[in-house]
RNA sequence: GGCGGCGUAGCCAAGUGGUAAGGCAGUGGUCUGCAAAACCAUUAUUCAGCGGUUCAAAUCCGCUCGCCGCCUCCA
């Protein structure tokens, strides 16, 4: 079975057939570096991280390009506000971006090109377009002639007449057609400037991606991705530029992910309703954010809330707890004993990987894939719970294999990458730091309670236990004494 | 106005023609002096509403209602 991918351009899923056998060339639009990244950016990065990881797991050699836009109107404006240069500003936020990506455990792309480092390629592409009659110069600017490219609108499913009827397009008298867009902008005093055949200026927003993808991936490549908000105009314009210049099909599969919303409203800088990645990571484990993001299909909207993150934390704890419990199992069992595991359960465990792959092959349906992992965990837990004192070796082996498969599959999503026991300890440690209690105080209270229990003073014993619980410490009475742990969300 | 998407249990969320995955929360149970944790079991005769196609529909078609996004910078 092959992987099926939903292609924005065709509006349907189709089997992934790569240009070159076993290889995938992927270009993703990265950030415009002028501010901290928010959860929406995290979703974009995580979705494509998952896609890259999964494609590699499925045997593809993936060349992954993710660019930085380090020159544009917003950067110029913000730099002026902060009384700094565009270069300093964009470099600062690129560094922040890298820190955020590292904290989220996102694999670095093969290449991360910047617009400002590709001026020769950009200028060359614009010259190609002018030569082909697809671009024209007006004063210091160069515009793309949308009426000269007859596929214009085919990606976003629009046509030029409809878009003009929208009336939100401002009329610029210099342009031949209201929808024509800038390839090159003559610079105003004080703005970053590069020399060009059309005078000093800077590139328009869309041309950089056409130039850089062409340089690193060629005229034609397999997958181009980004957020849904990039479909129009950004990707529509990129496609027009690239196909106009080369005459070849620019991209085979266009992939666009949905937005992160807050209270059902799109998270965006202009609305001011965003949380930065660092704010969220300060409170929740990076893998919890991952689990949250992957708990819905990448094309659907995803509503951020604290409650939703806490759900994800609980889910992640369930997964890690299962793995930790399986690690505690004895290494050897009874070689003679027959398996005590029902056939249906055995089959469920044995087919975890197969079912996981089937879900992921279906347009990266991580929500369904995770459902299979949770179902597997449920069965593994059930079997483990009912294991006899001297379990059959066969059954121990099945449980261990099931846990290992679960971990391997989760790894292809960047989940369950930590040692289970250490992860759980670390999470508890993080919470303990926020509590007004030291381990010594807890131990002392337990000693006091143990004495009370020995004299069957249940009232006092329960009181001590309740007081600790109110502070977030759970006690576990066992044969070997009383252990404590921090209450996880 | 144009284009696109969504509406599944208390909440989140899979499921694109064959009789409702999974997670969180809740409830019952195992364990325990009682608990907690963990685990198990259980929770939608029904998929926004109304029609239609079909032996069969959450899934296809039509209409209605509600929500969201893009058309301007945006992941």
What share of chain A has pLDDT > 70, as a percent? 98
> Which DSSP symbol is given to A187?
P
List residues bridging with A256 in a β-sheet. Answer: A226
Do A181 and A146 share a domain, yes or no? yes
Ranges assigned E (strand) in A44-196: 61-66, 135-138, 141-144, 181-186
Check if residue A31 sits with its Cβ under 7 angstroms from strand B.
Answer: yes
| pLDDT tens by residue, A54-74 | 999 999 999 999 999 999 999
| pLDDT tens by residue, A121-156 | 999 999 999 999 999 999 999 999 999 998 899 999
**H/E run at residue A262:** strand A260-262
With bands split at pLDDT 50, 70 and 90, how would you rate the model's confidence at A406? Answer: very high
Range of the domain at A241: 4-280
State how far the Cα of A486 lies from the Cα of A430, in Å rounded to an integer: 9
State how far the Cα of A301 lies from the Cα of A127, in Å rounded to an integer: 40
Query: Which residues have CB under 8 Å from A331's CB, separation 6+?
Result: none
Q: Would you say residue A429 lies in a domain? A: no
3-class DSSP assignment, residue A423: helix
Residues 408-437 of A with CB under 7 A from strand B: none
Domain end residue (candidates: A400, A422, A444): A422
Do A29 and A47 share a domain, yes or no? yes
Residues 217-256 of A with CB under 7 A from strand B: 226-234
Do A18 and A121 share a domain, yes or no? yes
Instruction: Identify whether the C-beta of residue A178 lies closer than 8 Å to the C-beta of residue A169.
Output: yes
Residues 41-60 of A with CB under 7 A from strand B: 41, 43-44
Nearest residue to nucleotide B35 when comparing alpha carbons to its C1'?
A462
State how far the Cα of A311 lies from the Cα of A333, in Å rounded to an integer: 36
Q: Would you say residue A99 lies in a domain? A: yes
Nearest residue to nucleotide B22 when comparing alpha carbons to its C1'?
A371
Q: Would you say residue A459 lies in a domain? A: yes
Q: Would you say residue A428 lies in a domain? A: no
Instruction: Identify whether the C-beta of residue A153 lies closer than 8 Å to the C-beta of residue A160.
Output: yes
Do A171 and A314 share a domain, yes or no? no
Q: Please tell me the total count of domains within chain A.
A: 3
Which nucleotides of strand B lie within 7 A of protein CB?
Answer: 1-6, 11-16, 21-25, 32-41, 67-75
Check if residue A439 sits with its Cβ under 7 angstroms from strand B.
Answer: no
Instruction: Identify whether the C-beta of residue A371 lies closer than 8 Å to the C-beta of residue A379.
Output: no
Check if residue A378 sits with its Cβ under 7 angstroms from strand B.
Answer: yes
> Which DSSP symbol is given to A7?
E
Do A418 and A469 share a domain, yes or no? no
With bands split at pLDDT 50, 70 and 90, how would you rate the model's confidence at A172? Answer: low
List residues bridging with A254 in a β-sheet. Answer: A224
Residues 441-460 of A with CB under 7 A from strand B: 453, 458
The answer to which of A296-300, A392-396, A428-432 has the lowest mean pLDDT is A428-432
Residues 204-223 of A with CB under 7 A from strand B: 205
Do A59 and A181 share a domain, yes or no? yes
Q: Would you say residue A103 lies in a domain? A: yes
CA A65 to C1' B69, in angstroms, rounded, equals 27
Query: In 3D, which of A127, A131, A245, A118 has the Cα closest to residue A197?
Result: A127
Nearest residue to nucleotide B33 when comparing alpha carbons to its C1'?
A458
Do A354 and A411 share a domain, yes or no? yes
Instruction: Identify whether the C-beta of residue A340 lies closer than 8 Å to the C-beta of residue A395.
Output: yes
CA A138 to C1' B57, in angstroms, rounded, equals 58
Q: Would you say residue A473 lies in a domain? A: yes
Q: Is the ipTM above a cut-off of 0.90?
A: yes
Do A231 and A82 share a domain, yes or no? yes
Q: Would you say residue A427 lies in a domain? A: no
State how far the Cα of A313 lies from the Cα of A482, in Å rounded to an integer: 26
pLDDT at A73 (0 to 100): 92
CA A306 to C1' B39, in angstroms, rounded, equals 27
Check if residue A154 sits with its Cβ under 7 angstroms from strand B.
Answer: no
Domain end residue (candidates: A376, A395, A422): A422
Q: Would you say residue A94 lies in a domain? A: yes
CATH code of A34's domain: 3.40.50.620
Domain end residue (candidates: A260, A280, A300): A280
3-class DSSP assignment, residue A255: strand
Check if residue A339 sits with its Cβ under 7 angstroms from strand B.
Answer: no
**Mean pLDDT to the nearest integer, A364-382:** 95
Tokens linked to A215: 């340089």
CA A162 to C1' B53, in angstroms, rounded, equals 34
Do A311 and A171 share a domain, yes or no? no
Do A291 and A210 share a domain, yes or no? no
Do A113 and A198 share a domain, yes or no? yes
Do A381 and A414 share a domain, yes or no? yes
3-class DSSP assignment, residue A388: coil
In the predicted structure, residue A106 carries a pLDDT above the cut 60: yes
State how far the Cα of A47 lies from the Cα of A376, in Å rounded to an integer: 24
């Amino acid at each position: 079975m092959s992987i099926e991918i939903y292609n924005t351009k065709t509006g349907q899923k189709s089997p992934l057939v790569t240009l070159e056998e076993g290889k995938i060339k992927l270009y993703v639009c990265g950030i415009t570096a002028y501010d901290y990244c928010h959860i929406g950016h995290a979703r974009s990065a995580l979705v494509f991280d998952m896609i890259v990881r999964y494609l590699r797991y499925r045997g593809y050699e993936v060349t992954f390009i993710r660019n930085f836009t380090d020159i544009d109107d917003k950067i110029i404006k913000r730099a002026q506000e902060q009384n700094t240069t565009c270069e300093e500003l964009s470099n600062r936020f690129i560094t922040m971006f890298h820190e955020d990506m590292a904290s989220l455990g996102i694999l670095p792309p093969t290449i991360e090109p910047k617009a400002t480092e590709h001026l020769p390629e950009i200028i060359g592409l614009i010259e190609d377009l002018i030569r082909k009659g697809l671009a024209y110069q007006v004063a210091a600017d160069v515009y793309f002639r949308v009426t000269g490219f007859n596929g214009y609108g085919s990606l976003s499913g629009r046509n030029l007449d409809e878009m003009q009827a929208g009336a939100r397009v401002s009329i610029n008298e210099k342009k031949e057609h209201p929808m024509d867009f800038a390839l090159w902008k003559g610079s105003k005093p004080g703005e970053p400037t590069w020399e060009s055949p059309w005078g000093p200026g800077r590139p328009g927003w869309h041309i950089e991606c056409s130039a850089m993808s062409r340089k690193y991936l060629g005229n034609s490549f397999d997958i181009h991705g980004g957020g849904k908000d990039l479909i129009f105009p950004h990707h529509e314009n990129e496609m027009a530029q690239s196909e106009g210049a080369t005459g070849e099909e620019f991209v085979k599969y266009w992939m666009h992910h949905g937005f992160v919303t807050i209270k059902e409203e799109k998270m965006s800088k202009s609305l001011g309703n965003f949380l930065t990645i660092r704010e969220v990571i300060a409170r929740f484990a990076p893998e919890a954010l991952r689990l949250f993001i992957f708990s819905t299909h990448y094309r659907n909207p995803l509503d951020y809330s604290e409650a939703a993150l806490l759900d994800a934390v609980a889910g992640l704890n369930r997964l890690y707890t299962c793995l930790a419990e399986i690690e505690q199992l004895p290494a050897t069992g009874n070689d003679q004993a027959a398996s005590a595991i029902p056939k249906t359960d055995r089959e469920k465990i044995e087919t975890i990987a197969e079912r996981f792959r089937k879900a992921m092959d279906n347009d990266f349906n991580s929500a369904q894939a995770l459902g299979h992992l949770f179902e597997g965990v449920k069965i593994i837990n059930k079997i483990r719970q009912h294991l006899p004192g001297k379990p059959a070796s066969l059954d121990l082996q099945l449980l261990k294999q099931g846990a290992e498969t679960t971990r391997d599959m989760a790894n292809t999503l960047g989940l369950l990458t930590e040692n289970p026991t250490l992860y759980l300890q670390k999470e508890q440690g993080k919470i303990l730091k926020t509590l007004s209690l030291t381990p010594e105080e807890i131990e002392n209270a337990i000693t006091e309670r143990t004495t009370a229990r020995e004299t069957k003073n249940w009232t006092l014993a329960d009181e001590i236990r309740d007081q600790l619980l109110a502070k977030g410490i759970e006690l576990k009475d066992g044969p070997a004494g009383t252990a404590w742990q921090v209450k996880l969300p």
